[in-house]
Structures are given as structure tokens and as C-alpha cells.
Amino acid sequence: MRSLLSGVLLSLWTASVDAYANPLSCSGTCTNAHDPALIRRDDGTYFRFSTGGKIAIHSAPSMTGPWTYRGAAIPNGSKIDKKGKDDLWAPDVIKVGSTYYLFYSVSSFGSQDSAIGVATSSSLDVNTWTDLGATGVASSSGKAYNAIDSNIFADGSTLYMNFGSFWGDLYQVQMQNPPTKVASGASSKNIAYIPSGDHAQEAAFLYKNGNYYYLFFSVGKCCGYDTNRPAAGQEYKIQVCRSSSATGNFVDKNGKKCAEGGGTTVLESHDWVYGPGGQGVYTDPSNGPVLYYHYVDTRVGYADGQKRFGINKINFSSGWPVV
Ligand SMILES: *[C@@H]1O[C@H](CO)[C@@H](O)[C@H](O)[C@H]1NC(C)=O
Ligand SMILES: *[C@@H]1O[C@H](CO)[C@@H](O)[C@H](O)[C@H]1NC(C)=O
């Protein structure tokens, strides 16, 4: 009995400690990967967009590299005239029709004076992006949300933008199709909220698998780990809720509402991976659904510029994403 019990405890312990696979190996430039957005062009070239450098563009012949830096997507800065227009954050890319739409945030750290802009290209390449500026999603001090960290989701031909960071956490608004502006008359509604503490939730990413819409997000502190590392467990981790609708009623694995602080952890610090977040999900033609994100490799360094690009395959067979 005793050995059976310790065997059960041992396997529980093993399951909780060794639950996460390490990221797939990455070659070429795997740093400069904060808040990555991943997309594959029809010719098989992968593109990665990331925070900083006026949205850095890297490309590679495969998802795992070798990645090469190509330049800035918006080299002259955003047309949106706010502080941060030359330091663009948190890109998201989607193809609608034959055009690629690149969404980005204009803000400054810890400020609610923020806006989400969009640029378009027909090829994803550097020097092909046209900045269209404001989408109409914006915030200022006193708003319920902070208008950064956009993610565009296509539910058939109906397009939604998910966004938000701290304050009232995650919001959603319907967009026009094509998604250059908020849909006429649409209003933003809350889809996830952590009522306690400093509401440390951001980086929404909605993904459909089977009959469910999975809302992924990052919880905790994202940045500055080299100078101001948070208490253990307060660093970034990736969580999820799901719903049978794209527009709300997201719950976690225990049935707790995402709008009331629910969230099931998909990936958190483990082994030499620290603070994974800023994630997205991509359906790769050869690997199926993959979770991509940035993380600190504790063997290398904790600075924001050292954040690395991570990819794990996702197993949805239980109805919940497992990496
Ligand atoms: C950036 O600004 C320069 C100088 O005004 C202009 O020649 C160039 O076309 C601009 N580039 C983009 C991508 O808008
Ligand atoms: C997915 O996870 C299930 C257990 O939930 C396992 O049986 C199955 O082999 C996994 N699939 C792959 C491709 O690893």
C-alpha cells in the first residue's frame, strides 16, 4: 500500500515537474523575438514579426530556422501620432484575401495612452509594407482597457480583434472585412479579466480547434527580468480558456470563467525555459498546431533583447492544449 501510494505520488510529481517538452531547436537569429507573430507564405517561406526595431522581420525556410533578419516592417514609424510611434510592439499578422495585414501597438511602458495600427503588404517582405495608421482601437487614461496586444481572428468572414493588457484585461471588438477599421457601430466587450492584484493578463490569441475556440493569453510580468526579476511564479506564463463561441463565455478546464480570473496553464517556466509568453498558435502544414512564444533561456541571459523564439507542438486530443 505504502509503495503503491508513493508510486502514485511519484508519478504525480513526475507529471507536474516534467510536463512540458522543451522548445524545438531553433537556428539562425532566434533572439530578437519578443511577442512573436508567425506566418508561412505560400512559397514555403516563414516570416516572424516581433516587438522593437519598428517591428523586426525575420524569415526562414522552415519554422525552426535558420532565421535571418530582414529589416523593419515600418521603418519610418507609425502614422499614429502618440508616444511610442517609433517603438512599435506586439505584432500580429493575418492574410485576408490576397493581402497580409500587420497589426502593431503604439504605446509606452505602463501607459494607457495607446493605439493599435495596421499596415498592409501583398508579400510580407521588407520594403513592401504600407502603414495605414489607426484602426480605431485606442485608449487613454481612465478607459477600461489598454489598447495594445492585438490579435485578429477570422470566424468565417466575420473578423474580430482581441486586445488588451492589464487594467480591464482582454477585450474583443468586431472589425470590418478587410480588417483595417473597427466595424461600424461595434463596441468592445470584455472577454477575460483577473480581478485580483494588478490584473496581470495580456497578449490574447484566439484559435479554433474542433468545436472549440481557445483563448490563449499571457499572465504575469513580461519584461526586465535582468534588472527586476519578479517573485517566483509571477513571471510570464501561458494560459488558456475555451468556449463554443468566438465571442465570449470562455472557461478554463475547471469550469471557472475567464471573465472571473479563470485560466488553465499551458506552459510556464521549466527546466532552462523561463517566463514563456507573448504567444500565438499556428497551424503548420507539416507539424499541425504549434504554440510559438518568446522565453528566456536561463543558460544564456535574462535581458529583453535575449528573449528567444520557442515553438512546441500542441496536442489537443484531450480537448485542451498540451505541449
Ligand atoms: C520613409 O520616409 C522617406 C523619407 O521621407 C521616404 O522616402 C520613404 O518612402 C518612407 N518609407 C516608407 C516605407 O514609407
Ligand atoms: C496526445 O495525447 C494523448 C494523451 O492525451 C496521447 O495518447 C497521444 O499519443 C498524443 N498524441 C501525440 C501525437 O503525441
Whether residue 162 has pLDDT greater than 80: yes
Assign domain 24-313 to its CATH architecture. 5 Propeller (2.115)
User: Could you tell me the residue ranges of all domains in the chain?
Assistant: 24-313
Question: Would you say the CB of residue 76 lies under 6 angstroms from ligand 1?
Answer: yes
Q: Which of 169, 202, 252, 297 is catalytic?
A: 202
Q: Which atom of ligand 2 is nearest to the CA of 318?
A: 5
C-beta of 3 in contact with ligand 2 (< 6 A): no
Given this model, what pLDDT does residue 256 score?
Answer: 98
User: Ligand 2 within 6 A of 76 CB?
Assistant: no
Nearest CA to ligand 1 atom 8: 76
Question: What percentage of the chain carries pLDDT values higher than 90?
Answer: 93
Phi, psi of 10 (to 5 degrees): -60, -40
Mean per-residue pLDDT, 223-247: 97
How confident is the prediction for the chain on average, in pLDDT? 94
Å from CA of 73 to ligand 1 middle: 12
Contact 231, 185 (CB under 8 A): no
User: Which ligand is the nearest neighbour of the Cα of 19?
Assistant: 2
> Can you give the pLDDT at residue 14?
44
More confidently predicted of 18 and 82: 82
pLDDT tens-digit readout, 111-123: 999 999 999 999 9
- Is 35 among the catalytic positions? yes
Q: What pTM value is reported for the model?
A: 0.94
CB burial of residue 51 (10 Å; 0-12, 13-18, 19+): buried
